[in-house]
């Protein structure tokens, strides 16, 4: 009897195993039967092909899957080719699912994924038109930041993975070098200033003892907080980390240094991508990818000029009412930026006070946002930190890193405090609202916590939507009175909006109209009154990330346009909290798809559907 039961039980197990095997083979190698499974297949392929992204999201550790935390992304040309093949294959498979059999939610997901895969596939033609080692987001400065701020350190295994990643760096950098040499053969070299700055950065990075490098100091600080590690464990691990820095990390950086020293004489001071093969078409592609619109470079340039003039008019009125009558706007803002009453001391105490003030602003904004602006509040926490000192000289004024999905890491607002004379107090509220709440932290945390949608919808990086939302939030704060009785804070908001309008002018100026770096710096300095070092970093950023800076203002203008349409058509039925929810509830979208969603909301609201 028992033998028969076991026999039948074994047969059932075998059948189930075969069914699972067939299911997995279909899921992994072919187009899945289920569209929802296909969505997750595409997402999983991306994640498990990029261990650093998988670590950043913190999505699978809760299931005991941790091996990726000891690996680095594959930067080889061969991997790049495989990735483009996958984009094209996934796009072909996606289009085989009949639209008439999809739910409304699936149709939206398919529309979004199709847009994303199409733009990725189109990028194959331009796969070498970039600078993987650069002063802003190159592999050489992203790696230390990733290890210090993103790689999780919660237990002994995480520490071992940390060392494994240090040991893996030489391979990653060798792969990067292979790609750099392909670019060199295609006459694609960074501008001279990029090479000079990364050489300085990397030389300084390896110029200190291993024990003083951020890779060692950050590990020591975080390992000290792991309760289950003994002092002997910490000592042993620290020695392994410092040994890996000396024997693996520093030699890997030296290889990059040697290469860039060799190509320096070949570089030029031509900064725009117009100099690259078929550069004008490449720039048009980057504008399309970043703005998710079909605006041409000349149209973006003219839009920027109009917005600059409009914003200057608003600033003129506030300046005239506050003792700056008749003074040029850039000159007046420069004076305000240097006014001692608006500056923190340029020392550690001043930096500490500034971080505390940013934290206070975000705490206040969180309380008010929950009451005044939104129907729900994301759970993820946010911290304010200083941009790591090793990269602050070439880093932007601020940036934001997303929280881990499993809650193991908060969202982080990084403030650049290299020179406190660049951080006037009147500029701080707007930056806190943009990077923190209700800007990037609120939007990206809300997206990560959405229910009932495919995972890819929570993380796709549509720049015009993401940055447009953050800039819209600066304006939104004005609309609900957060700048009341603070004319200089409002000037800071307008100065930052002007700054984004100026970006439209200088980005297209550099890449389409052949402006040189000095011409772009002079224009931004004249219009905004921003500090010379800050402006220099910004202009150099646009040079290595063509089109990206145009996404902010274009995204903001679209969201404002959609809100005005909703207010006009809905009248008394309009609810700003509901509108903001409509914008956020589907995750990041291309602007044309966002417009479709808002139009649908307006019609349903008008007819009480």
For CA atoms 531, 533, 534, 538, the dihedral sign is positive
C-beta separation of 445 from 411 below 8 A = yes
Residue 494 pLDDT: 97
C-beta separation of 444 from 411 below 8 A = yes
Q: What is the pLDDT of residues 208-255, one digit of tens each?
A: 999 999 999 999 999 999 999 999 999 999 999 999 999 999 999 999
Q: What is the rounded (10 degree) CA torsion for 289, 292, 293, 298? A: -40
Average pLDDT value for residue range 286-311: 98
Mean pLDDT of the chain: 93
Residue 229 pLDDT: 95
Q: What is the pLDDT of residues 394-408, one digit of tens each?
A: 788 899 999 988 888
Average pLDDT value for residue range 324-344: 95
b vs e for 126-150, b when ≥16 Cβ sit within 10 Å of the residue's Cβ? bebbbbbbbbbbbbbbebbbbbbbb
Which range (121-125, 272-276, 326-330, 588-592) has the least confidence?
A: 326-330
Residue 534 pLDDT: 87
Average pLDDT value for residue range 24-37: 66
Q: Spell out the domain ranges in the chain.
A: 1-30, 34-127, 133-268, 280-557
Task: Say whether pLDDT at 606 is over 50.
Answer: yes
Q: What is the pLDDT of residues 465-521, one digit of tens each?
A: 999 999 999 999 999 999 999 999 999 999 999 999 999 999 999 999 999 999 999
Tokens found for residue 234: 């910490």
Residue 31 pLDDT: 65
Tokens found for residue 317: 């009125």
- First-to-last C-alpha distance (Å) of the chain: 62
Contact partners, residue 116, CB within 8 Å, separation at least 6: 456, 460, 462
Band (pLDDT 50/70/90 cuts) for residue 30 is: low
> Over pLDDT 70: what percentage of the chain?
95
- State how far the alpha carbon of 528 is from the alpha carbons of 312, 466, 536, in Å: 9, 24, 13
Question: How many Å apart are CA 116 and CA 552, to the nearest integer?
Answer: 19
499: left (phi over 0), alpha (psi -120 to 50) or beta: alpha
Average pLDDT value for residue range 7-34: 43
Q: Model pTM?
A: 0.89
Task: Say whether pLDDT at 17 is over 60.
Answer: no
Average pLDDT value for residue range 116-140: 97
Question: How many Å apart are CA 512 and CA 515, to the nearest integer?
Answer: 8
Residue 441 pLDDT: 98
Contact partners, residue 248, CB within 8 Å, separation at least 6: 166, 167, 169, 170
Q: What is the pLDDT of residues 425-471, one digit of tens each?
A: 999 999 999 999 999 999 999 999 999 999 999 999 899 999 999 99
Q: Concatenate the DSSP letters of all residues of 28-50 into one string.
A: HHS--SSHHHHHHHHHHHHHHT-
Task: Say whether pLDDT at 79 is over 50.
Answer: yes
Residue 535 pLDDT: 92
């Amino acid at each position: 009897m028992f033998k028969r039961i076991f026999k039948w039980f074994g047969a059932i197990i075998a059948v189930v195993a075969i069914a699972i095997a067939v299911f997995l083979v279909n899921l992994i190698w072919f187009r899945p039967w289920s569209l929802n499974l296909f969505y997750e297949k595409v997402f999983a392929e991306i994640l498990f092909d990029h261990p650093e992204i998988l670590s950043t999201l913190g999505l699978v550790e809760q299931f005991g899957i941790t091996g990726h935390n000891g690996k680095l992304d594959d930067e080889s040309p061969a991997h790049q080719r495989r990735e483009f093949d996958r984009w094209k294959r996934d796009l072909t498979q996606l289009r085989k699912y009949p639209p008439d059999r999809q739910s409304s939610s699936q149709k939206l997901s398919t529309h979004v994924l199709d847009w994303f895969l199409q733009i990725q596939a189109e990028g194959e033609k331009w796969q070498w038109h970039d600078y993987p080692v650069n002063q802003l987001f190159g592999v050489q400065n992203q790696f230390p930041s990733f290890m210090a701020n993103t790689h999780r350190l919660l237990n002994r295994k995480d520490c071992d993975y940390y060392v494994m990643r240090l040991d893996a760096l030489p391979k990653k950098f060798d792969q990067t070098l292979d790609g750099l040499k392909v670019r060199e053969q295609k006459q694609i070299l960074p501008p001279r200033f990029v090479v000079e700055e990364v050489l300085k950065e990397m030389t300084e990075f390896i110029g200190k003892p291993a024990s003083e490098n951020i890779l060692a100091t950050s590990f020591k600080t975080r390992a000290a907080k792991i309760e289950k590690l003994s002092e002997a464990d910490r000592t042993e691990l620290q020695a392994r980390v410092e040994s890996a820095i000396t024997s693996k990390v520093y030699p890997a950086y030296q290889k990059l240094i040697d290469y860039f020293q060799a190509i320096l004489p070949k570089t030029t001071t031509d900064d725009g991508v117009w100099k690259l093969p078929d550069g004008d078409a490449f720039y048009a592609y980057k504008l399309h990818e970043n703005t998710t619109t079909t605006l041409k470079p000349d149209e973006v340039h003219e839009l920027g000029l109009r917005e600059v003039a409009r914003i200057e008019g608003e600033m003129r009125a506030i300046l005239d009412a506050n003792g700056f009558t008749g003074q040029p706007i850039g000159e007046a803002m420069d004076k305000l930026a240097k006014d001692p009453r608006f500056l923190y001391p340029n020392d550690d105490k001043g930096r500490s006070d500034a971080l505390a003030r940013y934290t206070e602003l975000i705490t206040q904004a969180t309380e008010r946002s929950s009451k005044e602006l939104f129907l729900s509040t994301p759970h993820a926490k946010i911290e304010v930190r200083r941009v790591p000192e090793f990269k602050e000289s070439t880093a932007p004024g601020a940036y934001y890193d997303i929280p881990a999905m499993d809650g193991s890491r908060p969202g982080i607002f990084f403030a650049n405090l290299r020179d406190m004379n660049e951080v006037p107090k009147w500029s701080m509220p707007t930056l806190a609202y943009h990077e923190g709440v209700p800007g990037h932290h609120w939007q990206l945390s809300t997206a990560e916590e959405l229910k009932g949608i495919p995972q890819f919808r929570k993380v796709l990086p549509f720049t015009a939507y993401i940055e447009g939302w953050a800039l819209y939030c600066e304006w939104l704060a004005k609309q609900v009175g957060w700048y009341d009785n603070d004319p200089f804070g409002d000037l800071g908001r307008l100065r930052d909006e002007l700054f984004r309008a100026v970006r439209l002018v200088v980005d297209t100026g550099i890449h389409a109209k052949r402006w040189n770096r000095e011409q772009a710096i002079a224009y931004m300095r004249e219009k905004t009154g921003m500090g010379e070092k800050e402006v220099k970093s910004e202009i150099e950023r646009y040079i290595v990330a063509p089109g990206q800076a145009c996404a902010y203002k274009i995204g903001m203008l679209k969201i404002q346009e959609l809100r005005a349409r909703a207010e006009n058509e809905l009248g008394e039925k309009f609810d700003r909290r509901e509108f903001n929810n409509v914008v956020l509830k589907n995750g990041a979208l291309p602007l044309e798809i966002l417009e479709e969603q808002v139009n649908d909301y307006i019609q349903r609201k008008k007819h009480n559907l």
